[in-house]
Structure 1
Amino acid sequence: MEADGSQATSGSPGEAQHDPGKMFIGGLSWQTSPDSLRDYFSKFGEIRECMVMRDPTTKRSRGFGFVTFADPASVDKVLAQPHHELDSKTIDPKVAFPRRAQPKVSRRIDNRILGTQRVIVARQFGFQPGNWQ
């Protein structure tokens, strides 16, 4: 099963459920297909779902995917192995957490930092405030 980067959620809106058998697989080769991902991880246990995330516009792989095992104990088997290589590339499997569970970075703070950096750079090159373009 291939994915285009969009997500379907079940349950109430804004509430992502944690699946203990789901893993995030980072560092995938651009050539990795859902079938090759499934073939590699099936040695750790039965796979319920497997996807390589793709850009919705270009359909090119985004370099990561997800594998969901039927038995959460399979996740421990994957994590017990220190090195994973698929399609001649070292991959980085991790336990997947719902997006809502990730700490959210405030955009306001990021913009303040970026704004401060702009002012510093502008002063170094002799630009006056208000003359940014």
Structure 2
Amino acid sequence: MASTAKKADKRALYVGGLDKQVTEHTLFTAFVPFGPIKGVQVAMDYSTHRSKGFGFVEFIDELDARAAIDNMDESELFGRTLRVSIAKPDRPKLGSNKPVWAEADEAMDSTSGPTEDVAKDA
């Protein structure tokens, strides 16, 4: 029986424990000694425009990613201890992105009977 779960890309790393002042450039600079990097992303708080304390680094080669984990996990950056591991794939989202009350409003609109214009014509 085939599994439908996504396998983790062993080139993509989760980096936790980041200081709020860490930028994508800072993260890139810290990890590039281990090999060519495909992309870097720091999770940002939209209201403060500062780091949420974690990010992702994707290497071109899996062996470089492994070297980065071996060397950077539990190391320090800006006085904070980093947690570096293989990034887990996104979990499939169940259900709708609409809030329950929006669906309830739509249901009420479609079952509330005739509109005022229809009632006048009767």
**Which consecutive unaligned segments of at least 5 residues does structure 1 have?**
1-14, 102-133
For residue 90 of structure 1, what is the aligned residue in structure 2?
81
- Cα deviation digits, residues 77-98 of structure 1 (max 9, x gap): 1222254221222111110011
Task: Give the alignment's TM-score, normalised by structure 2.
Answer: 0.63
Measured in 2, the distance between the counterparts of 1:83 and 1:19 equals 21
**Which consecutive unaligned segments of at least 5 residues does structure 2 have?**
93-122
- Cα deviation digits, residues 93-124 of structure 1 (max 9, x gap): 110011228xxxxxxxxxxxxxxxxxxxxxxx
For residue 40 of structure 1, what is the aligned residue in structure 2?
30
Equivalent position amino acid for 2:34 in 1? F
Equivalent position amino acid for 1:34 in 2? E
Equivalent position amino acid for 1:70 in 2? I
For residue 21 of structure 2, what is the aligned residue in structure 1?
31
Q: How well do the aligned residues superpose, as a CA RMSD in angstroms?
A: 2.3
In the TM superposition, structure 1's runs of 4+ consecutive aligned residues that sit over 6 Å from their partners are none
For residue 117 of structure 2, what is the aligned residue in structure 1?
none
- Give the fraction of aligned pairs with identical amino acids, expressed as a percent: 32
Aligned length: 88
